[in-house]
Structure 1
Amino acid sequence: MRKTDRFDVKGEGNSLWNLYTSVSIYKVAKNFIVIQLARYTPFFGVKNWLYRTFLRMEVGHQTAVALMVFPDVMFPERIRIGNNTIIGFNSTILAHEYLIDEYRIGNVIIGDEVMIGANSTILPGVTIGNGAVISAASLVNKDIPAGAFAGGNPVRIIYTAEQRAAQKQKPFKV
């Protein structure tokens, strides 16, 4: 189970219809503008500065967030990305999910030296351990242990850290 806080919706309509009772419309508008600037900025230093300064995200040293990545527009301050990590093209990092009768908010923690493949989606309340690799087009709906190679929709562990280390030690045969 992902680590999220649940909030019941009080009022008419579903939780998304009641969106602005849970987050300020001005915050969402500001975050949307900053995220759009960052999505198209090809300079990692500028992009990380935008995330840290205006969205209050924690972004580690020498982390590379590729073009078109979309961090959570409503709660970006709940995202932490470690050092020397790569987030692949067009990936989405969500810290919220709105359901019919409730909404959920959870921290997303991405460790150091993690590689997330293009077009992946990370759901709220997920932790990805240091050195993990997520294959392209994955739906990360659960925690991924350090050093693991994972992928798929929904994500599953393909190799553990120990299996990856053993794979690297085998000699290459022609």
Structure 2
Amino acid sequence: MRNTTRYKVEGANSLWQLYKTVPFVKVAKNFVVIQLSRYTPFIPVKNWLYRRFLKMKVGDQTAVALMVMMDIMFPEKISIGKNTIIGYNTTILAHEYLIDEYRLGDVVIGDEVMVGANSTILPGVTIGDGAIVSAATLVHQDVPAGAFVGGNPMRVIYTKEEMKNRKKEEIL
């Protein structure tokens, strides 16, 4: 199970009660900043917008590609390490709104991680340092450091040790 906190709701589904859980002004501001960030080709500007206006933790030399969609309601729950690449059109969520409840969870992406294009990272997930996430992967559980993962649902393709052995074999 992912590391999320559950909040029960009564009556209409939790998304219908959205502005009881997060202020409208915050969502509107986040929407504008995220849309600007999605289209700007200047990585330092994009990272500055994330840090300054969304209160995200973004490491040095991290590159977030064009069209990446950060969580619009709780971007401050997203942390990205240094020298990491987030691929084109990836979605990073820190919330889930369900019928009877909503869930919030921190997303922690380590240092020197590569996330392939069109991936989705769900709330409460930690991606370890040096991990590689294949394109179009649904990251629904933690990713061990140094692992290569992919698919929908995600599975470990190579562990850190297997990756080291593959690199040694390629050298020989």
* TM-score normalized by the length of structure 2: 0.98
* d(CA) in 2 for partners of 1:65, 1:129: 17
Task: Please give the residue correspondences for 1:117-132 in structure 2 after superposition, counting only pairs within 5 Å.
Answer: 117-132=116-131
* d(CA) in 1 for partners of 2:155, 2:77: 24
Aligned length: 172
* d(CA) in 1 for partners of 2:155, 2:170: 27
Match of 1:6 in 2: 6
1:81 is aligned to 2:80: yes
1:97 is aligned to 2:96: yes
* TM-score normalized by the length of structure 1: 0.97
Show structure 2 runs of 5+ residues with no match. none
* d(CA) in 2 for partners of 1:105, 1:169: 41
SS in 2 for 1:170: helix
> Structure 1 or 2: larger helix share?
2
Per the TM alignment, residue 172 of structure 1 is displaced from its structure 2 partner at its CA by 6.3
Q: What is the aligned-residue RMSD (CA, Å)?
A: 0.9
Task: Please give the residue correspondences for 1:29-108 in structure 2 after superposition, counting only pairs within 5 Å.
Answer: 29-108=28-107
Query: For residue 18 of structure 1, what is the amino acid of its counterpart?
Result: Q
Per the TM alignment, residue 26 of structure 1 is displaced from its structure 2 partner at its CA by 0.4
* d(CA) in 1 for partners of 2:33, 2:8: 29
Show structure 1 runs of 5+ residues with no match. none
Per the TM alignment, residue 171 of structure 1 is displaced from its structure 2 partner at its CA by 3.8
Give structure 1 regions of 4+ aligned residues with deviation exceeding 6 angstroms.
none
User: What are the Cα deviations for residues 7-63 of structure 1, in whole angstroms up to 9, with x where unaligned?
Assistant: 0013x3100000100000100000000000000000100000000000000000000
Task: Please give the residue correspondences for 1:111-150 in structure 2 after superposition, counting only pairs within 5 Å.
Answer: 111-150=110-149
Match of 2:159 in 1: 160
